Amino acid sequence: MSGLTIAQKIIKAHLVEGEMIKGSPIGLRIDQTLTQDATGTMAYLEFEAMGIPRVKTELSVAYIDHNTLQNGFMNADDHLYIRTCAKKYGLYFSRPGNGICHQVHLERFGVPGKTLIGSDSHTPTGGGLGMLAFGAGGLDVAVAMGGGAYHITMPEMVRVNLTGKLNDWVSAKDVILEVLRRLSVKGGVGRIIEYGGEGVKTLSVPERGTITNMGAELGASTSVFPSDENTRLFLAAQGRAEQFVELSADEDAEYDLVIDIDLSTLVPAAACPHSPDNVKSIEEIGAIKVDQVCIGSCTNSSFVDLMKVAHILKGKTVNEGVSLSIAPGSKQVYNMLAACGALSWMIDAGARILESACGPCIGMGQSPQSAGVSLRTFNRNFLGRSGTKDAQVYLVSPETAAISALTGVLTDPRTLGAMPEFPMPSVFAVNDNMIAKPASVEDAAEVEVVRGPNIKPFPESRPLEESISCECILKVGDNITTDHIMPAGAKILPYRSNIPYLSNFCFEVCDEEFPARAKEKNGGIIIGGENYGQGSSREHAALVPLYLGVKAVIAKSFARIHAANLVNAGILPLTFANPEDYDALSLGDKLVISDARACIKEGREIVLSANGKNIKLVSSLSGRDIDIILAGGLLEYTKAN
């Protein structure tokens, strides 16, 4: 019998349902959960609906990092609701200003070998510490907080074999951009990406976190690094040495795919508009004029990242045609930059220092000018995500961003010459005073959960109908993201706890008439292309269509998390047996799936009748998924079981 990969070892230790057979459904015991405020309100409403008095995980943390722009009462009300839920139900609460969930979790809570799910697609950042960390919908997180298993399909295993060492001014961001260039935004679907090889030893935990963070853009189930001496040093520097566990793949572990990358051959790169896999070298793109530079996000806001930025900016001035903003990833990073003087170098150069939050990455401020070129150290450059629909957003490393802010054009950071050493601190400045502890079991009963007027109930789901007969109310193309389905940004995010209001913006990027049409037609079916639902884990991209009466989504293929969220909402996800049949369907077509309930329940062939033609459809639902769809969604299924 062959050995096990890192991921297989963690899965084996946490397996509570199913068998470790590729493509088979499995259930995992979850050690830790996290939520953020854009998804957290709904997750805690769902948790409360289950009637469980206290979380049953080893650790659960509620972070406030997305909706920190206090424009009106809505965000503050959501924060109060989440804070009182955390106090009552046994969660730690990371207060506004303490930092971005993934950065803080890496610093203060992540433990090698543990399982983590979070209601944010970039939860796999924890893989940089040797965790098996998955992005998930809020309802899946609520179930895990209640002690339930997390269900996925047993993924394929991919090894990215790293050799050599990065050259000066080439960074971890360039590593993951190279993986994206090779595999594309759908190349990780159904797979866990595992990093190994001698090159791993040259990468610190924050650098590894950058790489696992953007594994989400591959569509991967998750990404993971070994837990080794570098991991031990990081945990020790955070005052958590006792939590170190060594973890590596067996020498005879088998992988479905092996990719070799010599780190010494990589060059500074950028993901060009409007997709993270549209990757070219800085040299290929050329010295295009830059209007805006944004440095930060959960991808690139660690202490060492920003020390490199500060070094580049020190004694210089940001180009007069460029707006530069910098957001430290956590209070810890912010404090350490201030203590060593690096924050002053940034301010002197003309940088606009933002709070430790997601900010521009989630469309909360710093939208570029019309048709502006914006260099961002973020993880997504989807059309319109920045808040400016015609903006040209490029994803780059902090080094490329900083030098380009000075020159005013896209610039290769290797022009800076020899790079000084930027060692990881042997001791981080630890101060957890912005993390509130939960009430004791005895005191929890006295805690009142406070709900503001913007917090509306979970939308009502419905069991799968005997037959589905309705119109095609929307047809979209390939790589539709959850930003297309349910946009983010300062205008919309404050209403994440108000599904009826959010419904007015559903699919507005693709078709501004969709919400009104869906309401007029009392719902219907959506037709999609390849990789439908890629991007964020936001379950609102399923809950809002549920509210609008969407009964099924038929696509060429689905992104993993969104397909799970559709099932959780009670919306039937189906694929074309023959992808060419996609071309036979149009907006307004009358669509009929006879005996839909019986076909799903009994595993029979599913046929869509449209335009006098019978089109064969495929259901990839597991036995549990079928039960959830028949029940009308995960909440109803969980209550019944």
DSSP string, 5-73: -HHHHHHHHHEEES-S-TTSEEEE--SEEEE-HHHHHHHHHHHHHHT-SS--SSEEEEE--SS----SS
Q: Which residue of the set 151, 208, 380, 385 is catalytic?
A: 380
Long-range contacts of residues 429-433, Cβ cutoff 8 Å, at least 24 apart: 429/332, 429/335, 429/336, 429/339, 430/108, 430/238, 430/239, 430/332, 431/331, 431/332, 431/335, 432/108
Residue 509 CA to residue 527 CA, distance in Å, equals: 16
Q: Which residue of the set 77, 120, 174, 483 is catalytic?
A: 120
Active site annotation includes 105:
no
DSSP annotation of 207: H
Residue 16 CA to residue 150 CA, distance in Å, equals: 9
Q: Which residue of the set 14, 66, 540, 624 is catalytic?
A: 66
Instruction: Count CB neighbours of 597 within 10 A.
Output: 17
Query: Dihedral (C-alpha) 313, 315, 321, 326: value to the nearest 10 degrees?
Result: 40
Active site annotation includes 536:
yes
Residue 92 CA to residue 96 CA, distance in Å, equals: 13
Query: Dihedral (C-alpha) 543, 146, 209, 344: value to the nearest 10 degrees?
Result: 80
Among candidate residues 290, 361, 352, the one with its CA nearest the CA of residue 325: 352
Cβ neighbourhood burial of 587 (10 Å; 0-12, 13-18, 19+): middle
Q: Which residue of the set 121, 536, 537, 619 is catalytic?
A: 536
Active site annotation includes 122:
no
Triad 448, 451, 457: Cα angle to 5°: 125
Residue 351 CA to residue 324 CA, distance in Å, equals: 5
Residue 316 CA to residue 127 CA, distance in Å, equals: 36
Query: Dihedral (C-alpha) 366, 424, 118, 82: value to the nearest 10 degrees?
Result: -70
Active site annotation includes 380:
yes
Please compute, for residue 546, the number of CA atoms within 13 A of its CA located in the half-sphere on the CB side: 25
Residue 115 CA to residue 33 CA, distance in Å, equals: 9
Q: Which residue of the set 79, 191, 414, 538 is catalytic?
A: 538
Active site annotation includes 191:
no
258 DSSP β-pair partners: 159
Q: Which residue of the set 37, 65, 140, 277 is catalytic?
A: 65
DSSP string, 548-597: TTEEEEEES-B-HHHHHHHHHHTPEEEEESSGGGGGG--TT-EEEETTHH
By annotation, the residues acting in catalysis are 65-66, 120, 380, 536, 538
